[in-house]
């Protein structure tokens, strides 16, 4: 059994149908990493590609023992791909970037330098972003402001995959849904220090973008989840109880008014819509507290206790391991 070599840097790259970009990405990445003069590994995660991405990645891994290849059984999405990369990364610092060549590998050293200044997470900021305004840049700008406002973690560009992390920070995070973009916000819950630097962004020259405006509803729903986790994960009764109290209190007040009219003023309240509304609001208030709280506890207990992964691996190719 080979002794485990301590690795300084892990590069995690999700790949989904990027066969045309992979060779150029690897050729650009290699001199940058060699110039660092640090031990490193490159982890490609094939997220269920149906083009020639996997054969190309396999050929690269065969000639470069520093490359590790993880192949998913199907497309699980970028969050799952990054989660797998974090799980299998051995480096003290983990850098993530897209496989479409829009992130510039030459920005990796400045990210690492910033980590060396004491930060736990350094996020890339695509100041001069080379994407379409209406379908990409405008929705992204709105989303970034909304996320910063709701999470209280002020970043200009949550959607930039080019980021650097300390291993001990990301290893403690559980990612689901589309939460890869919220990693800085989630890490803030455990006291991570976060900053950002301006990075180069390049137009896509080959292949097609996997991002569409249809992702927006999922991002918004995940943002609500993140906000809940940041503010109420250890005290869920406060959020459910608040809405339950407002609803139930309104129902009780209406019920008291109707009872006064019936018992004191001797007015008939039979068949009044307000009577049904009072009952409905009271019951709904109780359900808000009980069903919502129980559902949240069950979901969290399921994921945490079972340690269920959000991805399934078909194959792992690693020169330092026989694992597959």
Choice between 131 and 155, residue whose per-residue pLDDT is larger: 155
Q: Are 38 and 25 in contact (CB under 8 A)?
A: no
State the chain's mean pLDDT as an integer.
Answer: 83
Q: Are 140 and 216 in contact (CB under 8 A)?
A: no
Digit-coded pLDDT (tens) for 223-276: 777 777 776 665 666 666 777 888 888 888 888 888 888 788 777 777 677 878
Q: What is the pTM of this model?
A: 0.75
Mean pLDDT check: name the lowest of 27-31, 113-117, 215-219, 300-304: 300-304
Q: Tell me which of 3.90.550.10, 1.10.287.890, 1.10.287.110, 2.30.30.90 is the CATH number of domain 9-231.
A: 3.90.550.10
In the chain, what are the domain boundaries? 9-231, 236-301
């Amino acid at each position: 059994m080979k002794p485990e070599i301590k690795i300084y840097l892990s590069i995690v790259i999700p790949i989904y149908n990027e066969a045309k970009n992979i060779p150029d990405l690897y050729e650009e990445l290699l001199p940058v990493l060699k110039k660092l003069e640090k031990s490193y590994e490159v982890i490609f995660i094939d997220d269920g590609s149906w083009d020639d991405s996997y054969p190309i990645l396999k050929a690269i891994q065969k000639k470069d023992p520093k490359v590790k290849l993880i192949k998913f059984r199907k497309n699980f999405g970028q969050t799952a791909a990054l989660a797998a990369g974090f799980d299998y990364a051995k480096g003290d610092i983990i850098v993530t970037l897209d496989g479409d060549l829009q992130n510039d590998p030459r920005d990796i050293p400045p990210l690492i330098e910033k980590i060396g200044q004491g930060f736990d997470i350094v996020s890339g900021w695509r100041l001069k972003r080379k994407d379409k305004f209406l379908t990409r840049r405008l929705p992204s700008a709105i989303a970034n402001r909304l996320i910063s406002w709701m999470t209280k973690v002020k970043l200009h560009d949550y959607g930039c995959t080019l980021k650097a992390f300390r291993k001990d920070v990301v290893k403690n995070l559980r990612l689901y849904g589309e939460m890869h973009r919220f990693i800085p916000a989630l890490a803030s819950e455990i006291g991570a220090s976060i900053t950002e630097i301006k990075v180069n962004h390049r137009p896509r020259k080959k292949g097609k973008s996997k991002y569409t405006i249809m992702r927006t509803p999922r991002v918004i729903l995940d943002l609500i989840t993140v906000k809940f986790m940041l503010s109420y994960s250890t005290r869920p009764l406060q959020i459910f109880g608040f809405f339950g109290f407002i609803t139930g209190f309104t129902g009780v007040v209406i019920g008291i008014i109707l009872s006064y009219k019936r018992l004191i003023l001797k007015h008939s309240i039979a068949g009044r819509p307000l009577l049904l509304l009072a009952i409905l609001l009271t019951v709904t208030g109780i359900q808000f507290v009980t069903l919502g709280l129980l559902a949240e506890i069950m979901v969290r207990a399921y994921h945490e206790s079972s340690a269920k992964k959000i991805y399934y691996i078909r194959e792992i190719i690693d020169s330092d391991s026989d694992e597959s």
